[in-house]
Structure 1
């Protein structure tokens, strides 16, 4: 598994992945808004990025906001900039589009080249309107994100690929990068690296896809790959959770990176010390979350070297002989030989350590937060992709409901979102849900602080 990950890492670093720190890390107090389509709206990449900051920088107060709406193009995003995006008061704004802009079924029609060219030009013209608004932002960092790809190469039963669509999407990525370069904005491309992941995996399994099978929407593991690429572009490769190195023979602490080691004691052949880390390990969810998702976030560890590069909580103890049980806060977490301990063990890969369990609680709270935010994104879809076109933006009155019920038989998405809208149309309900979301965030920042752990090594 790790061999595959390292081979892929080498391929990515050879030219498709962004070089180190092309995007500045977020700062304390940043408000990061992710503008996009359904891949952002129903996806997790932004939530996984925030989870990294929640666990790696527990003292950093950040807010991140999903501003995706399903089915949207650059033109639709332009229309809701003020009400749905700038109203969130971003200090950092990420912008991604292209999947819907480039169209669908006509790529398998009579004149796919002409269709692709027309959609490309329309996308470019819509973006130029948005670009003017972005130029006028004061004190906001803009990060252009090249869209995750349309998967043309996977063999998916019952789903004929749209040949040539992703090539048009890549042209959109090119003008996004040109715009970023011209304005001094930051840029990252998801398209080429994810195509490379697919190419590598499909050489072994032709049915492999990072999407949920529709060739469009990345599954949870695909979103974690996207989060990995973003964090890598922020320069976090090689940044460890902690690095503990001890010479047991001499009773000395050789290294205590991103942590504090105290009260080191030797008693016979055993050893103990107190460990206070500055960070928590990054928890990887094994359960699929989100509409249509089938794979958990943790599957991404098979595809990219996130664990090896960004999730190492290393315990290295030299000068031992024999086998040792390792206990943290009195709980046995495993047994290793002196040779294995001298090489180092990655505590972040052991899910039953107290610190990993602490991080899991943060992860679950973040997932609850994501679910509430998704309700608000469905409400936003009703406002900006339905009511706005009927002159009823934010009306939330009897007439709006009558129009909704009259049109829902013609538009399946209106029917799907009706129940959620019928609740959130009421200000008191929205206020209560917003407070619930804020309470979850406050709880995350209460429980994400590392605490002193007692580590013991007992000779077996």
Structure 2
């Protein structure tokens, strides 16, 4: 009986230990092979790059999990507009997941004149807008859940109301967006869905860069649209929230015993000793352009994501050159190698170069997908009120007349340009869809890790 109780206790402790382990995202990625992710939003999604960074991350960290991403953002759209197009523009892709970021065009920017004091009527209108936003987000969520789509919510990205810019500062807009974010959290709680807090993350980085330069911003000079720096912050917040990969790989070798002490997410063959050993990683580095590294360093915990650690203990004192496939990637002291070097940002390694090609393909995918969004934006927003004959001539006349009415407005030239693009791209729609499929296949061919030969030579 005592033995049985001991066995039961040991089994219970084992189960508790297993359950208490931190989730290893390398084993349990959020997106699985065959999943389809719809990225729902307005212009910040439509013309943005956060989803391209996310695609790069998943393709490099989980090379066998082929996931399809569809940009479903439309410039100028809001929650009612998105709800109206959900069937024909979003569910048409049969998504398994939807990442939703809406609010910038719902917040009622005209209700924030930039003054600290506002009348009661304006405050009442703001409250009404918040209620409508909440109601529409609930409606959109219900439509997606009804089709079995798993929801991932985000708070709206920031309106920069702290930078010193030429553009008028409609102070208070970001406070309204924060209220929207709180509403999103309540909706997500009801559906047991994750929330990615873009707004807080972007405010934190913005505050850091504005400490020394009040004119600096991670969004554009219009205070609204982030560039790649801002989108990188957003991408990292997605990664940290739902795909927390700490290591691309970790290797620890004992030079004295010629044994591999540890090899996580990779296999290591040291038959020839540390002077020549082979490594096959299960993932590639997560590449980030040199021009974005300054911003990356400002993102909390970014340095603890997708690390690629090589540690070699008990080396003779001195300095060593590391070669991978006969390419010199760096020189390190025995103490640095003992501590462990992080190769994740070493652009000289063959792995990083391979990952960069994957990244290029993902951004090519983004720009190709953007052409389809030109078609969608025109048909679901610009042509929304069109009820004439279904001919290109009739649509062209309608858009030209509509654009002329907006002459003198800030969006006039943008809309004129997009209307022109629509008629250029529309005849190519089928070939663009085929091109997307082809690039997606290329991504998941180019991202497969291969065996590399490492050499450590004492200088």
Normalised by the length of structure 1, the TM-score is: 0.87
Please say which structure displays the higher CA radius of gyration.
2
1:333 and 2:332 are equivalent in the alignment = no
Which residue number in structure 2 is paired with residue 458 of structure 1? 457
- Shift in CA distance, 143/396, structure 1 to aligned 2, threshold 3 Å: farther
1:318 and 2:313 are equivalent in the alignment = yes
Give the CA deviation at 1:261: 0.2
Give the CA deviation at 1:264: 3.3
1:275 and 2:276 are equivalent in the alignment = no
Q: Give yes or no for contact 2:114–2:170 (8 Å, CA) kept in 1.
A: no
1:115 and 2:115 are equivalent in the alignment = no
Q: Give yes or no for contact 2:103–2:133 (8 Å, CA) kept in 1.
A: no
- Shift in CA distance, 235/399, structure 1 to aligned 2, threshold 3 Å: closer
Which residue number in structure 1 is paired with residue 106 of structure 2? 101
Structure 1 gaps of 5+ residues are 1-18, 287-295
For 2:276, what is the secondary structure of its paired residue? strand
* CA–CA distance in structure 2, aligned partners of residues 151 and 39 of structure 1: 14
* CA–CA distance in structure 2, aligned partners of residues 177 and 423 of structure 1: 41
1:436 and 2:412 are equivalent in the alignment = no
Give the CA deviation at 1:183: 2.7
Normalised by the length of structure 2, the TM-score is: 0.87
For 2:106, what is the secondary structure of its paired residue? coil
Q: Give yes or no for contact 1:68–1:377 (8 Å, CA) kept in 2.
A: yes
Q: Give yes or no for contact 1:116–1:165 (8 Å, CA) kept in 2.
A: no
Which residue number in structure 2 is paired with residue 64 of structure 1? 69
Give the CA deviation at 1:130: 4.7
- Which of these residues, 257, 261, 264, is aligned with residue 264 of structure 2? 257
Q: Deviations over 1:359-380 (max 9, x none)?
A: 0100111111111111111221
1:304-453 to 2 correspondences below 5 Å = 304-305=299-300, 307-321=302-316, 322-391=318-387, 395=390, 397-411=392-406, 412=412, 413-426=414-427, 429-453=428-452
* CA–CA distance in structure 1, aligned partners of residues 263 and 391 of structure 2: 57
- Shift in CA distance, 285/273, structure 1 to aligned 2, threshold 3 Å: same
Q: Give yes or no for contact 1:107–1:164 (8 Å, CA) kept in 2.
A: yes
Which residue number in structure 2 is paired with residue 162 of structure 1? 170
- Shift in CA distance, 396/247, structure 1 to aligned 2, threshold 3 Å: farther
* Number of equivalenced pairs: 425
Give the CA deviation at 1:112: 4.1
- Shift in CA distance, 342/130, structure 1 to aligned 2, threshold 3 Å: closer
* CA–CA distance in structure 2, aligned partners of residues 116 and 275 of structure 1: 62
- Which of these residues, 176, 183, 200, is aligned with residue 175 of structure 1? 183
Which residue number in structure 1 is paired with residue 18 of structure 2? none
Which residue number in structure 1 is paired with residue 149 of structure 2? 140
